[in-house]
């Protein structure tokens, strides 16, 4: 019988365990043990039910386009629990000189695809609008140009196309909301690979998107039209329900909580996992940990691999869930919420109007807000008590929304170093990590450190890692 150890009980490790369980039930002669340092499984997937509201402490949904999460939900029999974001009400505001300005229609990330709404929007200065029209004339980057293979920061990339105002007003706040990081340090090839490719083939991102849209329209007109899927998908009972359902399918005795792994080491043809006073032997191991923790458990077996992993930066984040009464709900603007550019000098990076984005998550007489701090802004308030953090949130909500009411409830959730930052050169680092990993047969890596930080990518990474070890 093949024995496989899984280190880490977040969604990446759970997805790996689910894959192994499926293969075991299908007749594969295997057995697994999952180690989790904390008392609970699911990692950052955590949901609370407060005063009739469903409050997500960690991720609130996943991008529908990346199907690995919905595929897993369906495989778990949760197909009827999937809910889509209320895209009919999809509006996002950007705080601009103290005022909430709606993002114009037709913006694909930071690329305008509709001239009129962008041209009329007060979000951008005339200088940036002029850059947008000039951008349409950029020629493809020559393939022979050596620079094509070089990574650069998202800020440098966006600035080349649209200027620095676009970085400040859109690129940076949008990326902060996803990675908790800054456009000035994130790698364009890792974080926006589609845009990097568009630049190579078309030069102008605007022209590339218009061409892609025309192609898609031709395809649609050739076949029967289907309604567009929602941008975000989640579960009626929250993201924790996904983790709990995976856990319910696994072998209970194979799940070791409160069991931090200190080290893993190859021995003869097997791997020894050391956790406190226990040690156990496996044929192979999936390390499904954030990179700094992965570096720690691998430091003895491969200091080089550990050093590469340790070099992947992580940022901390804080979410604050606040519930309000009917009057507040009626007073808030429509739409999904707002983003705050750093230049506005606030601590908050974003806030979601959850009652609009996922109406099932708050009763009709409640407003539910989810506020988000990350990176430097989260570090600045990290040491403060929950009441002080709530005070900062309330003060900034008052400045931004004019919201003075006392919340019915407020909860603070802190996530230390939970979001990977794909810095410039990340893909080259992944190549070096892969070479070093291959020198250690029977070791697979999964998690948000590598090729996607979102829940769907983490699920894919966990299932792929398990499959890779079974096929070995
Ligand atoms: C606040 C926040 C909001 C987010 N929002 C979204 C969103 O809306 N949509 C989306 O798609 N993604 C979102 N993400 C990203 C996504 O949720 C995470 O990248 C993903 O859930 C990470 O899963 P994981 O299993 O790789 O890591 P984790 O969830 O961090 O799990 C790792 C586990 O390993 C355990 N562990 C650590 N060290 C050891 C050890 N030595 N031995 C044993 N166990 C150990 C930890 O206790 C933890 O349970 C968000 C992330 C955060 C933090």
Instruction: Round to whole Å and give the CA distance between 261 and 319.
Output: 28
CATH number for the domain that contains residue 345: 3.90.660.20
Average pLDDT for residues 299-322, to the nearest whole number?
A: 97
98 or 142, higher pLDDT = 98
d(CA 242, ligand 1 centre) in Å: 13
Confidence tier at 222 by pLDDT (50, 70, 90): low
Using the predicted structure, report yes or no on whether residue 438 has a pLDDT greater than 70. Answer: yes
Percent of the chain, pLDDT > 70?
Answer: 97
Contacts of 410 (CB under 8 A, 6+ apart): 320, 321, 322, 323, 390, 393
Position 78 scores a pLDDT of 98
Instruction: Round to whole Å and give the CA distance between 362 and 44.
Output: 21
- For β-strands 2-7 and 30-35, DSSP reports them as parallel
Contact criterion met (CB below 8 Å) for 415 and 255: no
Q: What is the pLDDT of residues 315-333, one digit of tens each?
A: 999 999 999 999 999 999 9
Position 149 scores a pLDDT of 65
Using the predicted structure, report yes or no on whether residue 299 has a pLDDT greater than 50. Answer: yes
In a domain, residue 33? The reply is yes
Q: Helix, strand, coil: what percent of the chain each, to 5?
A: 45, 25, 30
User: Which phi and psi angles does 5 have, rounded to 5°?
Assistant: -95, 140
d(CA 140, ligand 1 centre) in Å: 38
**Probe target for ligand 1 pocket from 62, 175, 278, 290, with the most ligand atoms within 8 Å of CB:** 290
In a domain, residue 331? The reply is yes
H-only helix segments in 270-342: 291-298, 303-310, 326-331
Position 223 scores a pLDDT of 67
* One domain, residues 148 and 209: yes
* One domain, residues 324 and 404: yes
Burial class (CB in 10 A: 0-12, 13-18, 19+), 50: middle
Position 110 scores a pLDDT of 87
For ligand 1, atom 7, name the residue with the nearest CA: 59
Q: Residue 456's domain spans which residues?
A: 2-43+242-312+422-471
Using the predicted structure, report yes or no on whether residue 146 has a pLDDT greater than 70. Answer: no
* One domain, residues 349 and 456: no
- CA of 57, closest atom in ligand 1: 1
d(CA 120, ligand 1 centre) in Å: 41
Q: What is the pLDDT of residues 375-415, one digit of tens each?
A: 999 999 999 999 999 999 999 999 999 999 999 999 999 99
**Probe target for ligand 1 pocket from 6, 7, 8, with the most ligand atoms within 8 Å of CB:** 8
Out of 63-77, 207-221, 320-334, least confident range: 207-221
In a domain, residue 77? The reply is no
Position 113 scores a pLDDT of 86
* One domain, residues 118 and 258: no
* One domain, residues 429 and 307: yes
Q: What is the mean pLDDT of the chain?
A: 94
* One domain, residues 169 and 266: no
Position 213 scores a pLDDT of 82
CATH number for the domain that contains residue 438: 3.50.50.60
| DSSP reduced 3-state for 347 | coil
Average pLDDT for residues 122-146, to the nearest whole number?
A: 84
Confidence tier at 144 by pLDDT (50, 70, 90): very low
Confidence tier at 216 by pLDDT (50, 70, 90): confident
For ligand 1, atom 4, name the residue with the nearest CA: 59
In a domain, residue 322? The reply is yes
Average pLDDT for residues 236-253, to the nearest whole number?
A: 98
Confidence tier at 142 by pLDDT (50, 70, 90): low
In a domain, residue 54? The reply is no
How many domains would you assign to the chain?
3
Q: Which of 162, 147, 206, 158 is nearest to 184 (CA)?
A: 158
For ligand 1, atom 11, name the residue with the nearest CA: 454
d(CA 290, ligand 1 centre) in Å: 7
- CB-defined site of ligand 1, < 6 Å: 7-13, 35-38, 43-45, 58-62, 260-261, 288-290, 293, 297, 317, 319, 415, 418-419, 447-448, 453-455, 458
In a domain, residue 69? The reply is no
Q: What is the pLDDT of residues 331-357, one digit of tens each?
A: 999 999 999 999 999 999 999 999 999
d(CA 458, ligand 1 centre) in Å: 9
* One domain, residues 337 and 294: no
Using the predicted structure, report yes or no on whether residue 313 has a pLDDT greater than 60. Answer: yes
- CA of 260, closest atom in ligand 1: 42
Using the predicted structure, report yes or no on whether residue 131 has a pLDDT greater than 70. Answer: yes
- CA of 35, closest atom in ligand 1: 43
d(CA 418, ligand 1 centre) in Å: 6
Using the predicted structure, report yes or no on whether residue 219 has a pLDDT greater than 60. Answer: yes
* One domain, residues 137 and 7: no
For ligand 1, atom 38, name the residue with the nearest CA: 293
Q: Which of 421, 437, 457 is the last residue of a domain?
A: 421
Confidence tier at 429 by pLDDT (50, 70, 90): very high
Using the predicted structure, report yes or no on whether residue 470 has a pLDDT greater than 60. Answer: yes
Confidence tier at 32 by pLDDT (50, 70, 90): very high
d(CA 295, ligand 1 centre) in Å: 16
* One domain, residues 330 and 375: yes
CATH number for the domain that contains residue 118: 1.10.3110.10
Position 230 scores a pLDDT of 93
Q: What is the pLDDT of residues 9-21, one digit of tens each?
A: 999 999 999 999 9
Q: What is the pLDDT of residues 263-296, one digit of tens each?
A: 999 998 899 999 988 999 999 999 999 999 999 9
Chain centroid to CA 106: how far?
23
d(CA 460, ligand 1 centre) in Å: 14
- CA of 420, closest atom in ligand 1: 19
* One domain, residues 296 and 380: no
Contacts of 21 (CB under 8 A, 6+ apart): 32, 249, 250, 251
* One domain, residues 375 and 428: no
Average pLDDT for residues 23-41, to the nearest whole number?
A: 97
For ligand 1, atom 12, name the residue with the nearest CA: 454
In a domain, residue 89? The reply is no
* One domain, residues 298 and 443: yes
Helix axes 375-382, 386-401, angle to 10 degrees: 130
In a domain, residue 52? The reply is no
């Amino acid at each position: 019988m093949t024995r496989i150890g899984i280190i880490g009980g977040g969604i990446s490790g759970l997805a790996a365990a689910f894959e192994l369980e499926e293969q075991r039930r299908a007749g594969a002669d295997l057995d697994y043990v999952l180690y989790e340092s904390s008392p609970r499984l699911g990692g950052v997937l955590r949901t609370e039910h407060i005063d009739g509201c469903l409050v997500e402490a960690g991720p609130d949904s996943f991008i529908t386009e990346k199907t690995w999460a919905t595929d897993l939900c369906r495989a778990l029999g949760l197909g009827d629990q999937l809910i889509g974001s209320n895209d009919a009400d999809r509006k996002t505001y950007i705080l601009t000189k103290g005022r909430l300005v709606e993002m114009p229609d037709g913006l694909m990330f930071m690329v305008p695809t509709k001239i009129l709404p962008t041209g009329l929007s007060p979000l951008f200065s005339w200088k940036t609008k002029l850059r947008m029209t000039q951008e349409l004339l950029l020629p493809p980057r020559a393939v022979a140009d050596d620079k094509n293979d070089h990574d650069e920061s998202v800020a440098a990339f966006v600035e080349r196309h649209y200027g620095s105002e676009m970085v400040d007003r859109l690129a940076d706040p949008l990326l902060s909301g996803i990675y908790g990081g800054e456009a000035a340090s994130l790698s364009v090839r890792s974080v926006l690979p589609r845009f990097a490719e568009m630049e190579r083939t078309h030069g102008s991102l605007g022209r590339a998107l218009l061409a892609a849209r025309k192609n898609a329209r031709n395809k649609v007109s050739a076949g029967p039209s289907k309604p567009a899927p929602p941008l975000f998908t989640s579960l009626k009972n929250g993201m924790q329900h996904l983790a709990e359902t995976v856990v319910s399918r696994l072998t209970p005795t194979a799940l070791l909580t409160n069991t931090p792994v200190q080290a893993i080491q190859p021995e003869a043809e097997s791997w020894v996992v050391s956790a406190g006073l226990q040690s156990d032997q496996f044929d192979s191991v999936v390390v499904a940990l954030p990179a700094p923790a992965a570096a720690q458990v691998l430091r003895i077996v491969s200091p080089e691999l550990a050093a590469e992993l340790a070099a992947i930066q992580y940022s901390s984040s804080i979410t604050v869930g606040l519930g309000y009464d009917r009057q507040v709900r009626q007073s808030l603007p429509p739409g999904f919420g707002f983003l705050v550019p750093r230049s506005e000098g606030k601590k908050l990076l974003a806030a979601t109007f959850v009652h609009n984005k996922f109406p099932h998550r708050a009763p009709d007489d409640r407003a539910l807000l989810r506020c988000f701090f990350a990176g430097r802004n989260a570090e600045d308030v990290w040491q403060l008590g929950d009441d002080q953090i709530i005070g900062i949130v309330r003060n900034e909500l008052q400045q931004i929304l004019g919201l003075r009411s006392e919340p019915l409830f407020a909860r603070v959730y802190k996530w230390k170093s939970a979001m990977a930052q794909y810095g410039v050169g990340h893909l080259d680092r992944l190549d070096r990590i892969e070479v070093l990993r291959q020198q250690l047969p029977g070791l697979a890596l999964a998690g948000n450190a590598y090729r996607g930080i979102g829940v769907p990518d983490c699920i894919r990474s966990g299932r792929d890692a398990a499959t890779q070890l079974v096929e070995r």
